Structure 1
Amino acid sequence: MAHEHADLHDPETDPLATYVLEPDDVRPLLARVVAGPGHATSTAVAPFTGAPIAAVPLTAPDDLPDAARRARAAHRLWAARPVAERAAVLLRAHDLLLERQSDVLDLLQVETGKARAHAWEELGDVANAARYYALRARRLLAPRTVRGLMGPLTSARVLRHPLGVVGVVTPWNYPLSLGLGDALPALVAGNAVLLRADPQTALTLLWCAELLEDAGLPADLLQVVVGGPAVGMALLEHVDHAGFTGSTRAGRVFAARAGELGVPVTLELGGKNPMYVAADVDVEAAAEGAVRACFGSAGQLCASIERIYVHEDVHDRFVSALVRRTAALRLGVGLDYRADLGSLVGPDQLARVVEHVEDAVGHGATVLVGGEQRPDVGPYVYEPTVLADVPPVARAYREETFGPVVAVSPVASDDEAVAAMNDSELGLVAAVWTRSAARGAALAARVRAGAVMVNDTHHLLWGSVGAPIGGVGASGHGRRHGREGLWETTWTQTVVAQRGVHTGRGLGMREIHELGPEVWPRVLTRLLRLERALRLP
């Protein structure tokens, strides 16, 4: 059953009907693209209107060697600076991002089609990460002392060094969060960054490069390359580490090439993310949380919930509340905060969503709400959709839809819910709703996912910037955020020194070996037993 959604589009008064980025406004940004003379261009289409945005220069693989050479030269000077100086740039970037938020929110909406509130979530995420790494980097990168073999006679220190040049391959759906957000920890660690922007959202990342320069980042430390899979793959030949966010299929190809080149990679890939609603929930609270979890950025979010399993005791009441709240969402395509849901990014994504819904219905699924395109609102707008009775043969059962579509299924117990949630090769995020904190923690520990939210959505997860985020299984490996996200772009060096060797005061391994091959094993055996008795680590 389809419901009428409120929409806010008025072609007579909507400024987007005539909204155009003026050439003089974007020319300085386009000049920042790493691209040689005679470059090809790509013209993205604004999701809100279907009109062209700007012809963006494309980077060719031949442009990368010079960019990497300049990045390495800049990195050497940057890495020599104290961490506090590097962190100061992140704090200034934080302040400038908040001051200039209106400009970048406009760009984000024009390029991605998302509602303004969802665009702001990106901005808030990056500001949060900038502050965290600026204030924590000095401690997280500091040398640490560990116990050596000979106790106080041995000095053992672990140092962290930047890897050099880090490649960041960013998708179109969250350019600010997944582009600038991933570049910041690499930069504060002392690296240079080659940031590959998707042509659809290149202007946002070029704006970020300008912002960092205004914040005091030296030239060539962050360079933006623009292109598709070919330039992303070519980037691997010029970097010391690469972060990739995208589909599982593309990520596997990327990782295979990285393996051939010996380049370590961090991968965040696809997700068919589940949520469980236990029998003891506040139904209205859980339904409100589900709406936020399923339809952010029109579902074009790696952490979006696409499967909901509901205990049969509350199934009907929860579904009723979910359908009611979903039907009340306001659709719109404007540069303001009136809309709850914006547009899909373009025709390919719209076609995928339509195909998944039609395929599910063709195999017996029921549309509880939504299920329709809304060209009267925007060319790529699709209603937020709730499906029931989706069978295993349907594409939407296992494949990531990456749109505003969620399937709801009843379960009879917690055990059945956990089994259903884990019935996927993907393991990015999951959610559990229950009144009991102990029950939520116990259930979360049984779910095979890189992160589990209890009684909240991805907002809580992404906002906890000190905690690492990443997938398991076909959803990738490595982590962003937290100290792990910073350490991904460093290498460790252990320096061990023996004290007193040249003064005669030491009793180190040299002296022990001089006791003779029959004596030193007995001495070390006694030492090991003593340390065991003293419970020394």
Structure 2
Amino acid sequence: MPKQRPAGAVTDRGRELAAGLAALVASSPGRPVQASHAPFDGTLLGEVPISTQDDVGAAVETARTAQQLWAARSLAARRAVVARFVALLLDREQDILDLVQAESGKSRLSAFEEFADVILTARYYERNAGRHLRPRRRKGAAPVLTRTTEYRIPKGVVGVISPWNYPLTLAVSDAIPALLAGNGIVLKPDSQTPFTALLMLKLLRQAGLPEDLFRIVTGPGSSIGPALIGQVDFLMFTGSSQTGKTVARQCAERLIGFSAELGGKNPMLVLADADIAKAAAGAVYACFSNSGQLCVSIERIYVHADVHDRFLAAFTAKVEGIRMGAGPDWEIGMGSLISAAQVERVDLHVQDALAKGAQLLTGGRRRPDLGPLFYEPTVLTGITDDMLLAREETFGPVVAVYRAADDNAAVAQANDSEFGLNASVWSAAHGEEVARKLLTGTVNVNEGYAATWASHDAPIGGMKDSGAGRRHGREGILKYTEPQTISVQRLLPVAPAPGMSNHAYARIMKGAITLMGRLPRNR
């Protein structure tokens, strides 16, 4: 058993790792700086310069020049950079986990999930980019006479705006497929968590990525976000639905592509035939991983009336057993929230519900004895539609449990939301059947969220107000490309031949079209 390090060792090591990384920010000398503090104890981790709109423009132009040379490299050469990057990640595991924890306040296990996800995503695209990007023969205008091929060419410079809750995976996992497709990157990480992204940039450069190809700008999204959108060729955004709609309008004004994973109010359904012990354990993980600060985490649980009381008792008991704390101890079940603003939002939702008649089963308190930003995992029942908790995304360690009359009622309640990101269904025999009725981009059967998230060959994303576009799988790399169709015509033109009348050409074409309609259909 390795010797356990004290909690303060994480923030101390985070401070050491952050030192010097600010020099990687794309900004001019003498800029004002913004401070980054560790959520565990509020200590200063470091400072980064605040980039200006001019800095953003310079970063995009620098990346654009480098992108042309990068796109000219073979895919094998680009893949080799990503493979070396994965090797560096594996070598630096403890440092990376320390920095992620120091910046975000999450538990060691939640930090490891980020670490593992980046490796698995990078390895998937490194191994499968060729399959997704290869030229594809398409049916031509005329059999034999027309050879048509679809090619995939990079967009150019991709802008990535990433959030604070997953500063490692959401900054890098979206950039890897874009780089493999031949693009340059300008990344704006959240102002609260810049150093993890900067460490990833350092490792990518050590792996052989051209220095100018991937640039990072730091500062408030309200000022440098529009500047970034105004100059890149495609945007990948992860954040709230409200901000996502603003970003979408800005992209639409320039007619550039846009992909976004946005908010969620994700439901779990516990059916009458569910294994209650497994469902209760799975619900704990689904609701309180990353302190509930997870786009795909569960905030609503609908339980069939026949098993409601048994589930609620088992679930509440397990929630009360969650160990909270700071530091690198692997057995800590839940860490800190990210900021005072996030604590206030969580507590507002809880207190509003209680004031309007909700019942508190466990939790519902701040825990300043553990650190400035800790909040207990909280379970509520008796939620009504006039409560903030009913429909707004809480994005914290709070879940509402509802009694559902039957499976159909549970489905109807789950779908009654403006969001449609993720869902979970627990059932011995009917899980997939019920899952098909849910209006969410991903559904996990007998799992909370990890089964779909970790299926990297399949697309993930949201319906309704939960997003546009997809990440992962074929869609996750092709969105960073433009399809280009090239047709080579031989022997005869797609037009009247010399000396042929237009009417004769039309009759011949009609005959050919009629004949083609009688050919066997593709299955």
Q: TM-score range by the shorter chain?
A: over 0.9
Measured after TM superposition, the shift of residue 259 of structure 1 is 1.4
Aligned to 1:196: 188
Query: Out of 505, 517, 520, which is 1:532 matched to?
Result: 517
Q: Report the TM-score when normalising by structure 1.
A: 0.94
- Structure 1 distance, partners of 2:9, 2:80, is 41
Matches of residues 169-248 of structure 1 in structure 2 within 5 Å? 169-229=161-221, 230-248=223-241
Q: For residue 193 of structure 2, give the secondary structure of its aligned residue in structure 1.
A: helix
**Counterparts of 1:48 and 1:167 in 2: how far apart (Å)?**
31
* 1:198–1:510 distance in 2 versus 1, CA, 3 Å: same
Q: Distance in 2 between matches of 1:23 and 1:343?
A: 18
Give the alignment partner of residue 460 of structure 2, picking from 449, 463, 469. 469
1:517 aligns with 2:517: no
Q: Distance in 2 between matches of 1:410 and 1:366?
A: 14
1:86 to 2:78 alignment = yes
Amino acid at match of 1:470: G
Could you tell which deviates more after superposition, 120-129 or 221-230?
A: 221-230
Q: CA deviation at 1:18?
A: 9.4
- TM-fit CA distance, 1:32: 0.1
| Paired residue type of 2:495 | R
The residue type equivalent to 1:474 in the other structure is D
- How many angstroms does 1:14 deviate by? 4.1
Equivalent residues of 1:332, 1:338 under 8 A apart = no
- Determine whether 1:456 maps to 2:441: no
For residues 396-440 of structure 1, the C-alpha deviation after alignment (integer angstroms, 9 at most, x for no partner) is: 00000000000000111111111111111111111111111xx22
Cα distance in 2, alignment partners of residues 344 and 430 from structure 1:
23
Q: Which amino acid aligns with 2:66?
A: A
- Residue of structure 2 in register with 1:329 after alignment: 322
Indicate the residue corresponding to 1:386 in structure 2: 379
- Structure 1 partner of 2:410: 417
CA distance in structure 1 between the partners assigned to 2:98 and 2:472 by the alignment: 26
Verify: 1:280 aligned to 2:265, yes or no.
no
Q: What are the residue-to-residue correspondences of 1:41-440 with 2, within 5 Å?
A: 41-229=33-221, 230-436=223-429, 439-440=430-431
Q: Is the 8 A contact 2:14 2:102 kept in 1?
A: no
Tell me by how many angstroms 1:28 deviates: 2.4
Moved more, 89-98 or 13-22: 13-22
- Quick one: which amino acid aligns to residue 468 of structure 2? H
Task: Evaluate the alpha carbon distance shift between residue 518 and residue 144 of structure 1 in structure 2; reply closer, same or farther with a 3 A threshold.
Answer: same
Aligned residues: 518
Check whether the contact 2:236–2:259 (CA below 8 A) recurs between aligned residues.
Answer: yes
1:496 corresponds in structure 2 to 487
Distance 1:99 1:476, change over 3 A: same
Mapped to 1, the partners of 2:36 and 2:347 lie a distance apart of 22
Q: Which moved more, 1:509-518 or 1:390-399?
A: 509-518
Q: Cα offset for 1:286? A: 0.6
> How far apart are residue 323 of structure 1 and its match?
0.4
Partner of 1:487: 478
Shift of 1:513: 7.9
8 Å Cα contact 2:13/2:99 also seen in 1 = no
1:129-159 deviation digits (Å, cap 9, x = unpaired): 1110001111211110011121122100000
Tell me the secondary structure at the aligned position of residue 330 of structure 1.
coil
1-structure distance, mates of 2:177, 2:191: 24
Mean Cα deviation higher: 409-418 or 399-408:
409-418
Q: SS where residue 27 of structure 2 aligns? A: coil
The letter of the residue matching 1:485 is G
Letter of the structure 2 residue corresponding to residue 491 of structure 1: E
**Residues 190-224 of structure 1 deviation map (CA, whole Å, 9 limit, x = unaligned):** 00000101121100000000010111111111111
- State the superposition RMSD in angstroms: 1.6
How far 1:367 sits from its partner (Å)?
Answer: 0.8
Question: Which 4+ residue blocks in structure 1 deviate beyond 4 angstroms?
Answer: 21-25, 511-514
- Match for residue 37 of structure 1? 29
Aligned CA distance change for structure 1 residues 332 and 263 (closer, same or farther; 3 Å): same
Which whole-Å CA distance do the structure 2 matches of 1:19 and 1:288 have between them? 31
Contact 1:308 1:408 in 2 (8 A): yes
Counterpart Cα distance in 1 of 2:206 and 2:44 = 29
Q: Structure 1 521/173 Cα, relative in aligned 2: closer, same or farther at 3 Å? A: same
Deviation of 1:509 after TM superposition, in Å, equals 2.2
| SS of equivalent to 2:12 | coil
CA contact (8 A) 1:21 1:53 kept: no
SS in 2 for 1:435: coil
User: What is the DSSP-based 3-state SS (H/G/I as helix, E as strand, rest coil) of the residue aligned with 2:503?
Assistant: coil
- In structure 2, the CA distance between the partners of 1:376 and 1:147, relative to structure 1 (3 Å rule), is same
Shift of 1:175: 1.2
Please tell me whether the aligned partners of residues 35 and 57 of structure 1 are also in contact (alpha carbons under 8 angstroms).
Answer: yes
Instruction: Report the CA distance shift for 1:24/1:465 in structure 2 as closer, same or farther (over 3 A).
Output: closer
Q: In the alignment, is the contact (CA less than 8 A) between 1:159 and 1:494 conserved in 2?
A: yes
Cα distance in structure 1, aligned partners of 2:93 and 2:402: 40
Partner amino acid, structure 1, of 2:401:
V
Output the amino acid matched with 2:263. Answer: G
Structure 2 gap ranges (5+): none
Shift of 1:508: 4.4
Paired position in structure 2 for 1:27? 19
Query: C-alpha displacement at 1:536, in angstroms?
Result: 4.8
In 1, Cα distance between the equivalents of 2:14 and 2:420? 43
Secondary structure of 1:209's match? helix
Q: 1:513–1:520: 8 Å Cα contact kept in structure 2?
A: no
- Structure 1, 394-403 or 453-462: larger mean CA deviation: 453-462
Tell me the CA shift for residue 33 of structure 1. 0.6
Q: Which amino acid aligns with 1:273?
A: N
CA displacement 1:8-30 (0-9 Å, x = unmatched) = xx9xx944189435876433211
What is the rounded CA distance, in whole Å, between the counterparts of 2:54 and 2:386 in structure 1?
45
1:478 equivalent in alignment to 2:478: no
Amino acid aligned to 2:507: R
The 8 Å contact of residues 404 and 410 in structure 2, kept in 1 or not, is answered as yes
Q: Do the aligned partners of residues 399 and 260 (structure 1) sit closer, same or farther apart at CA in structure 2, a change above 3 Å counting?
A: same
In 1, the alpha carbon distance for the partners of 2:370 and 2:34 equals: 26
% identical equivalent positions? 45
Report the TM-score, using the length of structure 2 for normalisation: 0.96
CA distances 1:262-310 after superposition (whole Å, capped 9, x unpaired) = 2211111100001100000100011111111100100000001000000
Report the 3-state secondary structure (helix = DSSP H, G, I; strand = E; otherwise coil) of the residue aligned with 1:160: strand
- For residues 326 and 333 of structure 1, do their structure 2 counterparts lie closer, same or farther at Cα, with a shift above 3 Å needed? same
